[in-house]
Amino acid sequence: MTKQTLSFQAEVAQLLHLVTHSLYSNKEIFLRELISNASDACDKLRFEAINDGGLYENDTELKVKVSFDKDAKTLTITDNGIGMSTQEAIDHLGTIAKSGTKDFVSKLSGDQKADSQLIGQFGVGFYSGFIVADKITVESRRAGMKADEGVRWISGGAGDFEVENITRPERGTSVILHLRDDAMDYASAWKVKGIINKYSDHISLPILMEKEEWKDGELINPSDEQGGRQPGAMVKTGEWETVNKANAIWARAKKDITQEQYDEFYKQISHDFEAPLAHTHNRVEGSTEYTQLLYIPGKAPMDLYNREKSAGVKLYVKRVFIMDDAEALLPTYLRFVKGVVDSSDLPLNVSRELLQESRDVKAIREGCTKRVLGMLEDLAKNDKLPEATTSAEGVTDVVTEEEKAEAAGKYTRFYNEFGAVLKEGLGEDYANKDRIAKLLRFASSTTDTISVSFADYKARMKEGQEAIYYITADNAAAAKNSPQLEVFKKKGIEVLLMTDRVDEWALNYLQDFDGTPLQSVAKGAVDLGKLQDETEKKAAEEAAETFKPMLAKLKEALKDKAEDVRVTTRLVDSPACLVVQDHGMSTQLARMLKQAGQAAPDVKPVLEVNAEHALVKKLDGSVHFNDLAHILFDQALLAEGGLPADPAAYVKRVNALLV
């Protein structure tokens, strides 16, 4: 192929402009990203060579070389990994991460901290080279291809790139950065070694640099030893030395690893720019032997709720890389966990299909799940929000919401990012259902913060209260202002507010907590048990008897909408509300299923009316009975976040009454 010029994908051009002009506040991060890519390329070769040893081409020692040339103003990162074909170079270096590109770029704001998070999540670390380079040349040949099938890719980081075929005897890839004048300090051994030691010491492959030694300058006057010398300089010896520890961090003893090293390894495998919230590092011995190094991130990726996306930890077998995203090693609800599992028992040619069936994998999965839940339990136990304090002079220092958010404990930060995903475990992981339930947090009718656990709720239940009450809704405002909460507010009974889309589904799998049943306030007839006195019960019975004729008329008027109509004691200020029968599907869940394009039954709710409300009393004998009945139903539907089946008819009825 002769040289040709191709245009970047439009979003890449936007990204490159952002990278070049504003993105990375810590410029040296580019070297970590490029070395990480080189290491991944070697891992991929090792994996493919399991089935085709010829890919090694008589060079089995995988390594990364870093070199610089001050005169040419270049810094080069070379690996002898899998390499790229011409088409792969065009595809991989001209587009971003294959999917989600437009959504990704639309979220770029120019805010350095926020945007650097996005960069990492989309795995576009290669482009970070343009932070220090005004041009990047990539030369590569894929393992197994002929020497004359190499490729050279060149770009100045503007709107296009050049690509041409070259002859490259060795497999692998060289990334050549043509350094800007203000980045020439990266063409020095001490600078580059320092960055490698800081960010890439844990890379399991050797990272090599050419040795240097001091050479005195030439005599200014060779005949006069006292005449002085030209300035000395460090010169390359032609020998290469390993500048990192070159052994897998998870294979080292915990006592030999610093927190900074753990954090840097996490950043390398996750492409995150922030430290993780927690990690666990263990060697498990017994019938199944493996090492696990698992991390809890501090920030959710943008595709967290895409359950179809590959997610999981890296799998190694005897330190040989096998695959990224080995989802069989952790349940789906823990898909946010990053890390490495290195097995001593699995075969090197293990496939994703075999992983699903392996008894060893099942043991690893159970062990990793328990470790992650243990980490979360530790975070939750130590999670404390700042409280208001009072000085000796009696002055109270009030803690603002902003200060609370800033000082939020690690578990609060975790739950705000991943709480909805954790709830999926109630339905997916029966064995650990009780542990998961203890980790859940909610807002309630007495607090706005998502901080109330089931255990907290139980500890402050009113005397005689026999159930944990909760309500599900589309959002916090709808939940807190729901008519179904009125009697609970009147009696001072706390109700948990559940507003995540997954709540209703998840709670189908949790009938009780520590022996106390969970009761939705929107299902079944309200029964407060010992919290409702005999006078109230008697009044409700009398109202139901008195209202029998009207209830019969309402049932007839609403026979196509409501399964039943009855008098309720749960309402105080509102005229009516909708509930469903015990164990029935809620109208909210039915709506969500339909919105997601899934089959859902037509739920006919029960209309409960407040016999003491003026509007309900006005129904009796009204010439507009039929219209009022439909308005009553539709308003109850609106109050819970639904929409009337015929909005135009609702508006017409209301307007007629207003006129």
Q: 567 pLDDT exceeds 90?
A: no
pLDDT value of position 120: 45
Residues pairing with 577 in the sheet: 608
pTM of the model: 0.71
pLDDT value of position 159: 77
Statement to judge: residues 326 and 340 lie in one domain: yes
Residue 557 sits in a domain of what CATH number? 1.20.120.790
Q: What does DSSP say about strands 564-567 and 606-609: parallel, antiparallel, or unpaired?
A: parallel
CB 281 within 8 A of CB 360: no
Statement to judge: residues 540 and 653 lie in one domain: yes
In a domain, 495, yes or no: yes
pLDDT value of position 539: 74
pLDDT value of position 409: 84
Statement to judge: residues 191 and 280 lie in one domain: no
Q: Select the highest-mean-pLDDT range: 218-222, 391-395, 609-613.
A: 609-613
Statement to judge: residues 553 and 521 lie in one domain: no
CB 219 within 8 A of CB 228: yes
> d(Cα 470, Cα 488) in Å, to the nearest integer?
11
CA 204 → CA 174, 252, 629, distances in Å? Answer: 19, 11, 73
Q: What would the pLDDT profile of 179-193 be if each residue is shown by its tens digit?
A: 999 999 999 998 999
- Region label for 598, one of left (φ > 0), alpha (ψ between -120 and 50) or beta (otherwise): beta
Per the structure block, which two tokens stand in for 246?
């070159």
> d(Cα 227, Cα 205) in Å, to the nearest integer?
48
Statement to judge: residues 525 and 595 lie in one domain: no
Helices (H), 568-646: 587-595, 614-619, 625-639
CB 365 within 8 A of CB 313: no
DSSP conformation letters of 161-192? EEEEEE--SS-EEEEEEEE-GGGGGGSSHHHH
Beta strands in 105-255 (DSSP E): 133-141, 150-155, 160-166, 172-179, 207-215, 233-242
In a domain, 26, yes or no: yes
In a domain, 415, yes or no: no
In a domain, 397, yes or no: no
Statement to judge: residues 487 and 551 lie in one domain: no
Element holding 438 (H helix, E strand): helix 433-439
Q: What would the pLDDT profile of 58-90 be if each residue is shown by its tens digit?
A: 999 999 999 999 999 999 999 999 999 999 998
pLDDT value of position 123: 44
CB 5 within 8 A of CB 161: yes
In a domain, 393, yes or no: no
Residue 519 sits in a domain of what CATH number? 3.40.50.11260
Statement to judge: residues 330 and 313 lie in one domain: yes
Neighbours of 244 (CB within 10 A): 21
Neighbours of 655 (CB within 10 A): 9
- Closest listed residue to residue 161, CA positions, set 91, 76, 108: 91
Final residue before a domain boundary, out of 476, 511, 530: 530
Q: Taking residues 119-141, what's their average pLDDT? A: 78
pLDDT band at 619 (very low <50, low <70, confident <90, very high): confident
CB 576 within 8 A of CB 511: no
Final residue before a domain boundary, out of 345, 360, 381: 381
Q: Amino acid letter at 474?
A: D
> d(Cα 228, Cα 42) in Å, to the nearest integer?
49
> d(Cα 484, Cα 624) in Å, to the nearest integer?
26
pLDDT value of position 145: 96
CA 429 → CA 353, 423, 433, 437, distances in Å? Answer: 21, 10, 6, 11
Residue 30 sits in a domain of what CATH number? 3.30.565.10
Statement to judge: residues 182 and 93 lie in one domain: yes
Q: 20 pLDDT exceeds 70?
A: no
pLDDT band at 100 (very low <50, low <70, confident <90, very high): very low
Lowest mean pLDDT among 161-170, 346-355, 529-538: 529-538
Identify the burial level of 140 via C-beta atoms within 10 angstroms of its C-beta, where 0-12 means exposed, 13-18 middle and 19 or more buried.
buried
The per-residue pLDDT of the chain, averaged, comes to: 83
CB 16 within 8 A of CB 33: no
Final residue before a domain boundary, out of 530, 554, 572: 530
CB 471 within 8 A of CB 498: yes
Q: Quote the domain boundaries for residue 632.
A: 533-658
> What's the Rg (C-alpha) of the chain?
33
DSSP conformation letters of 315-326? EEETTEEEEEEE
Lowest mean pLDDT among 156-165, 194-203, 322-331, 581-590: 581-590
Length of the chain: 659
> d(Cα 457, Cα 315) in Å, to the nearest integer?
41
In a domain, 491, yes or no: yes
- Region label for 220, one of left (φ > 0), alpha (ψ between -120 and 50) or beta (otherwise): alpha
> d(Cα 137, Cα 174) in Å, to the nearest integer?
8
Statement to judge: residues 351 and 467 lie in one domain: no
Q: What would the pLDDT profile of 282-311 be if each residue is shown by its tens digit?
A: 999 988 999 999 999 998 887 777 766 667
Identify which has the larger pLDDT, 21 or 127.
127
Q: Taking residues 511-539, what's their average pLDDT? A: 78
Statement to judge: residues 488 and 542 lie in one domain: no
Q: What would the pLDDT profile of 29-50 be if each residue is shown by its tens digit?
A: 789 889 988 998 998 998 899 8
Per the structure block, which two tokens stand in for 169?
């005897």
Residues pairing with 279 in the sheet: 295
Q: Taking residues 568-591, what's their average pLDDT? A: 78
Q: Taking residues 369-394, what's their average pLDDT? A: 76
- At which residue do the structure tokens 């010029």 appear? 5
Please tell me what DSSP assigns to residue 394: S
Statement to judge: residues 520 and 568 lie in one domain: no
pLDDT value of position 605: 86
Q: 118 pLDDT exceeds 80?
A: no
In a domain, 387, yes or no: no
The number of distinct structural domains making up the chain is 4
CB 581 within 8 A of CB 606: yes
Element holding 35 (H helix, E strand): helix 29-48
In a domain, 418, yes or no: no
pLDDT value of position 397: 57
Statement to judge: residues 53 and 196 lie in one domain: yes
- At which residue do the structure tokens 């959002």 appear? 475
Please report, in angstroms and rounded to a whole number, the separation of the first and last CA atoms in the chain: 79
Residue 368 sits in a domain of what CATH number? 3.30.230.80
